[in-house]
Amino acid sequence: MKKTEKPEKPVILTCAQPSGVLTLGNYLGALRNWATLLDTAECFFGIVDMHSITAKNVPAELRKNSISCLAQYIACGMDPERCHLFMQSHVIGHTELAWVLGCQTPIGDLQRMTQFKEKAAKLGFSVTEGEDNGMRFSHDGARAQASVNSGLLFYPVLMAADILLYNADQVPVGDDQRQHLELCRDLARRFNHNYSDTFTVPEPLIPKQAARIRSLQAPEKKMSKSDDDPLATLYLLDPPKLIRKKIMSAVTDSDGEIRFGTDKPGISNLLQILAATGGESIETLVHSFEGKGYAELKSATADSVVALLEPVQKRYEELMADKGYLESVLKVGAEAAQQRAYRTLSKVYRKVGFYPRAR
Ligand code: TYM
């Protein structure tokens, strides 16, 4: 779409994977901020079920998690009257555009992606850069559990297609998506350069606060939906008792001092969670906890998280009791998304030289 054809409001697009219940990291680093953008932008919020099958998945679980993810979006403030909520697999165009973009993406750019390397490492593979700048993909025979599927490598191209299909101006994400966004921007620029101005080059919107909430058990890692450690992640739908248990058993350190710093990842993470959920700044919290113990900090953090999530959980239960309503939201969302997607896709097909279909 040409700049002049753009709707007046900026277009915002962002998504989450329905690969499990959303986490407190998803909420604080992403969803809570999305909900503040509804009136100033035209917002598209996708549930990217196609991304979820890059990891091993159980079909019935994916179906359940997908509709649950929609209910969580709405419960977190994504009012369907003021934004477009859609399932990625309901819209033709995401994979089609990904193919076109993939044909312009050097494979080395994908092998260099940090998240790809991390996910491959989990399966027992490692990616290293050779002296000739070529990538070496090797596996540690004993640890390798399965092969790394090519969808995992192609993942960032599909993500770029999700964004460029809607000509998004801004993409609100947490810090872990920074590199994927950079690739998306490169692909938009490359296509515009090769074929003429087509895509808006999107800007990432990364929050200053809570852009990377960390695991409660290994605070050097981000809090993640798929952590194997049952105490590492706070899920949006965890009952209050479980939230308290997880926070009270969070890993800290032995020096007993409550302050923020890279040498204190566990305490800093708790301070970050308390600041983001309770509304006080980290400096104020450090001051008010002077001379107090870690148990007090943990207990205050647990109270704050429980209080914040209580209304979200209540609304979620109401929504899940009305599947008909949720499905009607998806129908309307898919129609709006599809309209936009077709417009971009037909333009892209024309530019790359595909012969037009007779009308
Ligand atoms: P996903 O599903 O892992 O996460 C959804 C959003 O939550 C943010 N996030 C976090 N923020 C702070 N702390 C954390 N511990 C934390 N964990 C996750 C993520 O940054 C994200 O904003 N690849 C994406 C999904 C995607 C997408 C897109 C995003 C597919 N297509 C197009 C934006 C635009 C992902 O796996 O997000």
Ligand 1 and 88: CB distance under 6 A:
no
For 131, the 3-state DSSP assignment is coil
- Looking at the chain, the whole-number percentage of residues with pLDDT higher than 70 is 94
| CA–CA separation, 137 and 127 (whole Å) | 5
Q: Which residues in the chain show pLDDT less than 70?
A: 1-7, 130-137, 139-146
Going by alpha carbons, the residue nearest to atom 35 of ligand 1 is 16
Bridge partners (DSSP) of residue 126 are 138
Annotated active-site residue 222? The verdict is: yes
Closest to 52 measured CA to CA, from 21, 80, 84? 21
Whole-angstrom Cα distance, residue 14 to residue 45? Answer: 5
Q: Please indicate whether residue 29, judged by its CB atom, sits closer than 6 Å to ligand 1.
A: yes
Distance CA 226, CA 212 (A): 16
Atom of ligand 1 nearest to the CA of 172: 22
Q: What is the pLDDT of residue 124?
A: 81
Query: How many residues belong to the chain?
Result: 359
Q: Is 264 in the pocket of ligand 1 (CB under 6 A)?
A: no
Q: What is the pLDDT of residue 7?
A: 58
Predicted TM-score of the model (pTM) = 0.94
- Beta strand 11-16 with 42-47 is parallel
Place of tokens 């305490």: 267
Ligand 1 contacts CB of residue 174 (under 6 A)? yes
Question: Annotated catalytic residue: which of 122, 222, 264, 314?
Answer: 222
Contact 198, 190 (CB under 8 A): no
DSSP code of 89?
Answer: G
Tens-digit pLDDT profile for residues 193-252? 999 999 999 999 999 988 899 999 999 999 999 899 999 999 999 999 999 999 999 999
For residue 72, the model assigns a pLDDT of 98
Ligand 1 centroid–CA 115 distance in Å is: 12
Domains in the chain: ranges and CATH: 11-211+323-352 (3.40.50.620), 240-318 (1.10.240.10)
Any catalytic annotation for residue 119?
A: yes
User: Among 342, 17, 13, which Cα is nearest to 151's?
Assistant: 17
Q: For tokens 């801004």, name the residue.
A: 170
pLDDT tens, position by position, 174-186: 999 999 999 999 9
265 in contact with ligand 1, CB cutoff 6 A: no
Per-state percent for the chain, helix, strand, coil, to nearest 5: 50, 10, 40
What per-residue confidence (pLDDT) applies to 4? 46
